[in-house]
Amino acid sequence: MNVMTPMALTWSDTDRPGPATHLLLGIGCNKDRLRRLIENVMRDERLLSLSERSESFDKLVLATDKASGCRLRLHRFDTQFVDTPHNHRYSFWSLLLSGKYLHTIYGPGRDALRLPRGRLPVSSYAAFHAVGAVYGLHHSIVHTVTDVAPGTYSLMLRGPKAKIKDDLYKVDANGEPVAPEVPRPLTPADIQAILSELSTLGVV
């Protein structure tokens, strides 16, 4: 099931809406279509193998496009989700399906993370994103997601990898190392529980 092939997606400009935002809204606003995509992950061994659960975050890969390197993902955020300033290997667009979180931007590239030990970067922008919010982020931009509300889900369309690895601020405000969460594969039972919660939230 490939929902991205018919669309000409470009990733050089994540400031203005385009085909990526239309795709996200077309799926996120169609409960039956979103449910079918999630149910398909339980039957597709390849998509299931790409989907992961950590202590406070779930990532379901709903579709991939080998030609472009794009992926459509569903994210579930726990209220205990802990984030440190980082950027990504890819640019992306995101749509909030339920809940809300505080999105903070620190600036582009490693310069935002070149700080004395124990000091956090200075933010250039911070705002709560709630249901229906759509935004794009270039792979160079350092950001965090914090203050997550219960029942927060988002739909993400990520572009092709633009670099080998991301940049990550690896210590907290006290200068203590931040241990990364080790994910495990999601199971069909996990996904069924996610579907049940999404149904209760009115997302599917």
What pLDDT score was predicted for residue 119?
Answer: 65
The better pLDDT of the pair 44, 66 is held by: 44
What pLDDT score was predicted for residue 10?
Answer: 67
Inter-residue contact 142 to 107 (CB < 8 Å): yes
Domain limits of the chain? Answer: 19-201
Q: What is the pLDDT of residues 6-57, one digit of tens each?
A: 455 667 667 777 788 889 999 999 999 999 999 999 999 999 999 999 889 9
The better pLDDT of the pair 26, 117 is held by: 26
Q: What is the pLDDT of residues 67-114, one digit of tens each?
A: 888 999 999 999 988 888 888 999 999 999 999 999 999 888 766 666
Inter-residue contact 157 to 27 (CB < 8 Å): no
What pLDDT score was predicted for residue 6?
Answer: 46
Q: What is the pLDDT of residues 120-177, one digit of tens each?
A: 677 888 999 999 999 999 998 999 999 999 999 999 999 988 888 887 766 665 556 6
- According to the CATH classification, is domain 19-201 in 2.60.120.10? yes
What pLDDT score was predicted for residue 1?
Answer: 46
The C-alpha torsion from 92 through 98 and 101 to 103, rounded to 10°, is 20
What pLDDT score was predicted for residue 174?
Answer: 58
